[in-house]
Amino acid sequence: MIYLELPPNVANMQKMANGLAKSMFRPISRKYDKAEHTPPKELDALKSMLGGGGGGMGGLGGGGKDKEAKPGVKNGGNMIAIAAMTEMCWGDAGLALAIPGQGLGNAAIMAAGTPEQKEKFGKCWAAMAITEPGTGSDAGNIKTTAKKDGDDYIINGEKIYITAGGRASHVVVWANIDPTKGKAGIKSFVVPKDLPGVELVRLEKKMGIRASDTAAITFTNVRVPKDNLLGSEEIKDKKEGFGGVMQTFDNTRPPVAAMSLGVSRASLDLTKELLAKEGVVLEYQKSRWTNDALRAEIEWMESEWESAYLLTMRAAWMADNGQPNSKEASMCKAKAGRVGNYIVLRCVELTRNLGYSEVHLLEKWARDQKILDIFEGTQQIQQLIVARQVLGKSSKELR
């Protein structure tokens, strides 16, 4: 039996996040779109409400088993994070990424850290530093190094496109502890930004999600304790080394899919509202083939949105229930990104001058949406991951 209704704990958090989006995010959305790199002070109060760090990518997760849920279903933090992130990005995706204490690095700490590391770093605000000049989508081509020196590691390298890198207190840095081992030597380190040798080079000016700062940071002879290496420092093989680090994406790709779901649903909601004012109201009782073209297309976009939503919830449910979800995480990220791109741009077209001008937020959502199909792995990378899993091919066999 498949239950498509959200369990009470997830539905309650979804309702709370929607209220937050309506009352706090929407009213200041345009303000911080225009005031790029200005910290949204209105969000400071959310840190204590959401419990600081720990969850990452929305942070509204709870975990544990809902006593009102269906038998055998845990319905933990991942499903809650998806429901919450969708609603918050319905309000504003950039502001959702700018909530203090809710960084991508927090998700990495919770995915790869030891119990002691989760306790030590769980409440910090951690950004995640993966991308480098020249690495593109190939995370295995990382050039940043971490050389063992006694009880410390010395990190050298340059990272770019670090979400919340300017405001976060810590950065989870991907570096290679033994370049001769290739991908197997890649590990992640929790690096406090106030350490000597950590330099914030610049904040990027961006097309969208302007409320969220995106930083470039250099690391020059940065000394960190070996205990800041997430997980084990032992190098076994590529699957257990680099593969273990890559498991972070299985936790963060569904929330990025949820971000796309939030932005695209906001676009659909406003488009239907504007069309209704012109007398165009959806008639769901009619077949798509007997409906007019405009109504039929909106209904088709809604069905595509629903399929992306269900894929995303499935990936989150699998994570909550301890099931490997790498393929499903990539599937929902690819589907939501592609569907989101189409929906927001088509909504701009359908609403004509109201969609293209700054009268409404549609043009902003079109700019915000594009990055949601790119970061955490591009559309092409997701399709490649899915193809490898379906065909049983390795990264060497299918590139």
User: Can you give the pLDDT at residue 219?
Assistant: 98
Handedness of CA 96, 73, 250, 198 (dihedral sign): positive
Instruction: Answer yes or no: are the C-beta atoms of 95 and 163 closer than 8 Å.
Output: no
pTM: predicted TM-score of the whole model, two decimal places = 0.89
User: Could you say which of 3.40.190.10, 3.40.50.720, 3.90.1150.10, 1.20.140.10 is the CATH number of the domain covering 242-391?
Assistant: 1.20.140.10
- Please provide the CATH number assigned to the domain covering 8-106: 1.10.540.10
Query: Where in the sequence numbering do the catalytic residues fall?
Result: 376
Instruction: Answer yes or no: are the C-beta atoms of 298 and 360 closer than 8 Å.
Output: no
Q: Which is it for strands 198-203 and 152-163: parallel, antiparallel or unpaired?
A: unpaired
Domain boundaries, the chain: 8-106, 123-228, 242-391
CA angle 142, 143, 145 (to 5 degrees): 110
374 band by pLDDT with thresholds 50, 70 and 90 = very high
* Mean pLDDT for the stretch of residues 318-347: 95
Shortest CA distance to 194 belongs to which of 147, 124, 107? 124
What whole-number distance in Å separates Cα of residue 198 and Cα of residue 58?
26
DSSP secondary structure letter of residue 361: S
Residue-wise pLDDT tens digits, 59-105: 443 333 343 444 445 658 889 999 999 999 999 999 999 999 888 89
Length of the chain: 399
Where helices occur in the chain by DSSP H, the ranges are: 8-20, 26-34, 46-49, 77-91, 93-97, 104-112, 115-121, 242-277, 293-320, 326-350, 353-356, 362-372, 379-391
Rg of the chain over all Cα atoms, to the nearest angstrom = 21
| Pair of tokens at residue 341 | 């791109």
Residue-wise pLDDT tens digits, 162-220: 999 999 999 999 999 999 888 889 999 999 999 999 999 999 999 999 999 999 999 99
Residue-wise pLDDT tens digits, 310-328: 999 999 999 999 899 999 9
What whole-number distance in Å separates Cα of residue 266 and Cα of residue 95?
15
User: Can you give the pLDDT at residue 198?
Assistant: 98
Question: How far is the first Cα of the chain from the last one, in angstroms, to the nearest whole number?
Answer: 38
What whole-number distance in Å separates Cα of residue 370 and Cα of residue 207?
9
What whole-number distance in Å separates Cα of residue 95 and Cα of residue 163?
12
Within 10 angstroms of residue 176's Cβ, the number of other Cβ atoms is 24
Same fold, 123-228 and 242-391: no
- The yes-or-no verdict on residue 137 having pLDDT over 90 is no
CA distances from 88 to 17, 184, 255, 304, 397 (A): 6, 37, 11, 20, 40
- Please provide the CATH number assigned to the domain covering 123-228: 2.40.110.10
User: Can you give the pLDDT at residue 69?
Assistant: 43
294 in helix, strand or coil? helix
Shortest CA distance to 106 belongs to which of 16, 175, 195, 168? 168
